[in-house]
Amino acid sequence: MKKKTIQKAKLVSALMAAMLAAAGCQAGSGDSGSTGNKGTDASPQPSASAAPGTASEPKNPMPIVTDGSVTLTVAAPDNPYAAASLAQNLPVWQEIEKATGVKIKWDVVPGSQFQTAMQTRLASGTNLPDVILSTFDLYKYSKDGLLLQLDDLIAKYGENAVKVFEAKPLLPALMKTPEGNTFHLSGTRDDEVAAGPYGWLIRKDWLDQLGLAEPVTVDDWYSVLKAFKEKDPNGNGKQDEIPMTNYNGVTQLYNWGNAWGLHLRTSDGFYPDANGKIQYEWLDPKAKEMVVFLNKLVKEGLLDMEFAVNKKDQMTSKIIRSLSGATLAWQESNTLWTNKLREAGQPKAQWVMTTPPGGPNGYKGHIEKTGVVNGYAVINKKSPNAEAAFRWLDYVIYNEENMKRMTLGVEGKTYEMKDGQPVMTDFVTQNPDGLGAVEVIRSVGGWQLFSQASKLDYIAKLKQTDEILAERAKLVQPYLVPTAEFAMPTEDEFTKINRKLTDITTYKDEMVAKFILGQEPIDKWDQFTKQIQAIGIDEVVAIRQSQYDRLMSQNQK
Amino acid sequence: MQTSIAPSESRAGVPLPKRESALERLRKNTSRDKFLVLLVLPSVIYFIVFHYVPMYGILMAFKDFSPSQGIWNSPWVGLKWIREFFDSIYSFRLIKNVLLLNLYGLLWGFPAPIIFALLLNEIRRNVFKRVVQTVSYMPHFISVVVIAGMTITFLSPNDGIVNVMLDKLGLARINFLSEVDWFRTIYISTDVWASFGYSSILYLAALAAIDPQLYEAARIDGASRFRQLLHVTLPGIAPTIIILLLLQLGRMMSVGFEKIILLYNPSTYEVSDVISSYVYRIGLVGGEFSFAAAVDLMNATINFALIVTFNWLSRRLTQTSLW
């Protein structure tokens, strides 16, 4: 059993690595070929009024224009740091304007309403901006002929984009429609997880106080949480501890499946096995083992019985009131929690990330990376400045200098160069308003919700503001596994999946929540898997399989 | 022009009272009441522009709408979307949940403001009456999000005030929001709490309109206060009650979607999942305008059928009706 799982994991990763490598070569050679052809087209390009190329002729030299004749209307979800709207022309974007020579007219909507607002505007098809920096997939609209096809522009001007694509060949494959065309530009931030991982956080000071080691397997977790409950680590003389809390409902708990080698949360249970065959892992008996384990935690009061209800606020409140000592979250949350607890008179308080739990069957556990794709940037087909818009996007999303700017902010304000290395200033690390590093960068306009590529080094600078964070991020790095990626569905596939999967997900979430809460007896598990099959999981798996196969073949083209 | 027609006809000396055609009558009435017509014109234009013209969009429910083709040029698909809705194994559960939430909501929520208004009406001291009235309106102005937040906090099984009290009384703690049995109670009681004060305004207005002489007469006949309530007050506000009940019945297929989304979770789907929340999860998000329009049209049709039926019933039984 144990050997088999490890083998499987190895095979999958080997397979993926091989495919990536193959695709890398292909993309590279394909590109140089097209450069030769398109280079001649590009030379008489009139609007490229830029400085002459240095060594080899750059395809997308900056600035795009020098006379300020181009203004782009850019629609985007507004800054998640609400106190500084993008419309206020924040410092990062002033720098971008300076570098590109293109003026930006922002057309921003608060992030929570962006999708609804943008969809309504796209549906009416009028009064559209030149560029949309979207957080959701706009394929439906590109098919409707509202969006500019980008393949030729990528070949002609996509100097920065192609560099990123070469490093991450899965990205351009994921951007292609089923017909093989490209209508949007996506950034990629999957290294984000390596720099600031998402996973199991625990109060180190509670462990030390009770003389416990950091938990390694799910069984260790059980005894640690039990000790948290019974031995009064918050020292108020009452057994009021809720050892582990969470937020985001029952689906967040699916992360525990990682201990059994499953991928139930980020990949939603659809994951290729060693032979590249997509499996729905909820049908695996190991999923039942996970549910039994979680049910035990709830029954014995070790896991917050409000797990299905908690919002982030409720979780944070339990943590900073020193009631809970473990949770699942992004690593950087540790800083805020530790500080708040220390302010509240617990000088020893220390939240740390620990390695993901291993399973009882000997599997070492893993953490799934986030998907490769980050955001969807598109250009309005009717835009009079389409070319400039593309060149602008190529710079804003993929240019390395700009990656640094979007991740670390403005030199002299949020970071400084020391010995050729960027170092965050006190304004970030000890912000006068008490903001976290990410919030500070957002307050100057960087680290937004939409398309952005970034590099591990930069993200590490942003996310690892102290030594413990850096050390712990390194500790969990060997546990990272890729999430399953699928090519864009055809419209038919999309509708089918959408309907069937909504029913399956509804049923699955409902039943699993009840199993964990003990409202349904676990004997009904077989009935549960049968019902999932009856609703039609095979059809969904078949579609996922064809999406997966398509991605792999596009990847090799 | 028009003014001259009618007199000239009469001058032509047709002696017998001829039945005018509808068109003529309209013309005549319009010319007579031209200022009244002018007065009503803005509302008519408003309804045409903002309520009737957009009905063109209903076509979307029977088409495979794509933005670049527009509503008219998108291909027809008939009842495809409705069929797809009923393909879901959950379609009947969803409809049942909507109807039951509304039915129980009606049972508890409808009498509450009436009883409250009747009680207020019996209060003699005006200052006290006004204070109570104002205080009871207040919850109406609290946003749904806040109400849901309060509900979650108060009902928390760990440290919510309700469970702390249960604990002190020696009773077992209840995981209110994760239990199927409690969802409807919570949803409806918070609804009633938030709305009964405000909804009582209409009844208070109706109560104020009852002729005091009726009470005097009843008192002279020796009716007790309870008898007065039964035989004067209630019949006095009965038409208002019926009209409001009819309007409520016309909303049986609608449900406050935000509050559902804020209060439900997978463990209570069995009773809490409604059409709108399901359509939300299916991904209205996915830009499926046609599907959403079809489901909404289905709800509206059922609502319309209900209101027409009950209006007819009410006219037969009580002589009170909306039209």
The answer to which of A170-179, B6-15, B140-149 has the lowest mean pLDDT is: B6-15
Contact A308 B265 (CB under 8 A): yes
Question: Does the N-terminal peptide bond of residue A63 adopt cis geometry, omega within 30 degrees of 0?
Answer: yes
- Residues above pLDDT 70, as percent of chain B: 92
B19 plus B140 within the same structural domain: no
Residue B66 has its nearest CB partner, among A136, A144, A506, at: A144
Q: What is the nearest CA distance from A136 to chain B, expressed in angstroms?
A: 9
Is residue B78 a part of any domain in this protein? no
- Within 8 A of B283 by CB-CB distance, chain A residues are 498, 502
Asked whether residue B45 is assigned to any structural domain, the reply reads: no
**pLDDT tens sequence across B110-127:** 999 999 999 998 888 889
Residue of A nearest to B278 (CA): A502
Residues B118 and B188 in one domain: yes
A154: distance to nearest CA of chain B, Å? Answer: 25
A270: enclosing H helix or E strand? strand A270-272
CB contact under 8 A, A124 and B269: no
CB contact under 8 Å between A502 and B273, yes or no, is no
Contacts of B273 in chain A (CB under 8 A): 506
Q: Look up residue B273 and give its two tokens.
A: 């999942």
Q: How many domains does chain B have?
A: 2
CATH superfamily of A20-190+371-409+439-454: Periplasmic binding protein-like II (3.40.190.10)
Shortest distance between the Cα of B105 and any Cα of chain A, in A, equals 23
pLDDT value for A157 = 92
Domain of residue B313, CATH code: 1.10.3720.10
Contact flag A499-B84 (C-beta cutoff 8 Å): yes
List the domain range (segments joined by +) for residue B119. Answer: 87-318
Residue of B64, B65, B68 to mutate when probing chain A, most A C-beta within 10 A: B68
Give the model's confidence band at B283: pLDDT under 50 very low, under 70 low, under 90 confident, else very high: low
Q: Which residue of A has its CA nearest to B180?
A: A519
Give the confidence band of B71 by pLDDT, cuts at 50, 70, 90: confident
Same domain? For B224 and B125 the reply is yes
Mention every residue, 6+ apart, whose C-beta is less than 8 A from residue A432. Answer: none
Cβ–Cβ gap B67/A125 under 8 Å: yes
Instruction: Report CB contact under 8 Å: B281, A517.
Output: no
A144 CB within 8 Å of a chain B CB? yes
Beta-carbon separation of B266 and A250 below 8 A = yes
Name residue A199's beta-bridge partners.
A329
B67 to A510: CB separation less than 8 angstroms, yes or no: no
- Please report residues of A whose CB lies closer than 8 A to that of B92: none
Q: Which helix (H) or strand (E) holds A201?
A: strand A198-203
- What amino acid occupies position A170? L
d(CA B139, CA B160): 20
Q: Is the pLDDT of residue B198 over 70?
A: yes
Report the candidate in A557, A549, A492 with the shortest Cα–Cα distance to residue A143.
A492
Q: Do A123 and B289 touch (CB under 8 A)?
A: yes
Residue type, A390: F
B227 within domain boundaries: yes
Sequence ranges of the domains in chain A: 20-190+371-409+439-454, 191-368+466-557
In a domain, B48, yes or no: no
Q: State the pTM of this model.
A: 0.82
Residue A122 to residue B70, Cβ atoms within 8 A: no
Which of A311, A506, A535 lies at the smallest CB-CB distance from B269? A506
For B32-50, the pLDDT digits (tens) are 888 999 999 999 999 999 9
Q: Which two tokens stand for residue A88?
A: 């206020």
Question: Is residue A182 helix, strand or coil?
Answer: strand
Residue B54 is given by DSSP the state G
- Name residues 460-519 of chain A within 8 A of B (Cβ): 494, 498-499, 502-503, 505-507, 509-510, 512-514, 517, 519
B155 and B244 belong to one structural domain: yes
CA distance B179 to chain A (A): 8
Q: Chain B neighbours among A 21-80 (CB < 8 Å)?
A: none
Widest CA span of chain B, in angstroms?
Answer: 95
**Residue B203 in domain:** yes
Nearest chain B residue to A301 by CA distance is B158
d(CA A386, CA B92): 49
**Is B297 among the domain residues?**
yes
Is residue B82 included in any domain, yes or no?
Answer: no
Q: Give a three-class secondary structure readout of A73-124.
A: EEEEECCCCCCCCHHHCCHHHHHHHHHHCCEEEEEEECHHHHHHHHHHHHHH
Given a contact cutoff of 8 angstroms between Cβ atoms, the answer to whether B240 and B202 are in contact is yes
* A 84-123 residues inside an 8 A Cβ radius of B: 115, 119, 122-123
The chain A residue lying nearest B83, using CA atoms, is A499
Return the amino acid letter for B126.
Answer: N
pLDDT, residue B279, reads 83
pLDDT given for residue A125 in this prediction: 74
pLDDT at residue A186 in the model: 92
Pairing of strands A415-418, A421-424: antiparallel
Distance CA A498, CA A507 (A): 14
Q: Name the residue facing A306 among B87, B158, B278 (closest C-beta).
A: B158
Question: What would the pLDDT profile of B161-192 be if each residue is shown by its tens digit?
Answer: 999 999 999 998 899 999 999 999 999 999 99
Residue B65: list chain A partners with CB under 8 A. 123
Phi, psi of A434 (to 5 degrees): 75, 20
pLDDT digits (tens, 9 = 90+) for B215-245: 999 999 998 888 999 999 999 999 899 999 9
Confidence of residue B285 (pLDDT cuts 50, 70, 90): low
Pairing of strands A198-203, A351-353: antiparallel
DSSP lists the bridge partners of residue A132 as: A75, A378
Predicted local distance difference test score (pLDDT) of residue A3 = 44
CB B266 to CB A510 under 8 A?
Answer: yes
Nearest to A30 by CA among A213, A233, A180: A180
Residue bearing the bigger pLDDT, B199 or B319: B199
For chain B, the distance separating the N- and C-terminal CA atoms, rounded to the nearest angstrom, is 35
Whether chain B has a CB inside 8 Å of the CB on A146: the answer is yes
> Is residue B274 a part of any domain in this protein?
yes
Are residues B214 and B103 part of one domain? yes
Ramachandran category for residue B178: left, alpha or beta (phi over 0 → left; psi -120 to 50 → alpha): alpha
List CB contacts of B309: < 8 A, sequence separation 6 or more: none
The Cα B167–Cα A239 span in angstroms is 14
Residue B304 binned pLDDT confidence (cut-offs 50, 70, 90): very high
What are residue B286's phi and psi, to 5 degrees? Answer: -75, 10
Chain A residues in contact with B70 by the CB 8 A cut-off are: 125
Q: Which CATH architecture has domain A191-368+466-557?
A: 3-Layer(aba) Sandwich (3.40)
Helix, strand, coil percentages, rounded to 5, for chain A: 50, 15, 35
One domain, residues B25 and B168: no
Contacts of A491 in chain B (CB under 8 A): none
Whole-angstrom CA distances from A359 to A217, A286, B14, B53 are 6, 10, 103, 62
pLDDT tier at B18, thresholds 50, 70, 90: low
Q: Residues of B with CB below 8 A from A298's CB?
A: none
Contact B282 A502 (CB under 8 A): yes
Q: How far is CA A48 from CA A35, A66, A330, B316, in A?
A: 17, 10, 43, 80
Best probe of the B interface among A247, A506, A533, by most B CBs < 10 A, is A506
What does the pLDDT profile of chain A (557 residues) look like in tens digits? 444 444 444 444 444 444 444 443 333 333 333 333 333 333 334 443 444 444 467 888 888 888 888 999 999 999 988 888 999 989 999 999 999 999 999 999 998 888 888 887 887 777 889 999 988 887 766 666 788 999 999 999 999 999 999 988 889 999 988 888 899 999 987 677 778 889 999 999 999 999 999 999 999 999 999 999 999 998 888 888 999 999 888 999 999 999 999 999 989 999 999 999 999 999 999 999 999 999 999 999 999 988 988 888 889 999 999 999 999 998 888 988 998 899 888 899 999 999 999 998 889 999 998 888 888 999 998 899 999 999 999 999 999 889 889 989 998 889 988 888 888 888 888 888 878 888 889 999 888 888 788 888 888 888 887 888 888 988 998 999 989 999 988 888 888 888 888 899 999 999 999 999 999 999 999 999 999 999 999 999 999 999 999 998 877 65
Contact, A93 vs A445, CB < 8 A? yes
Contact A306 B87 (CB under 8 A): no
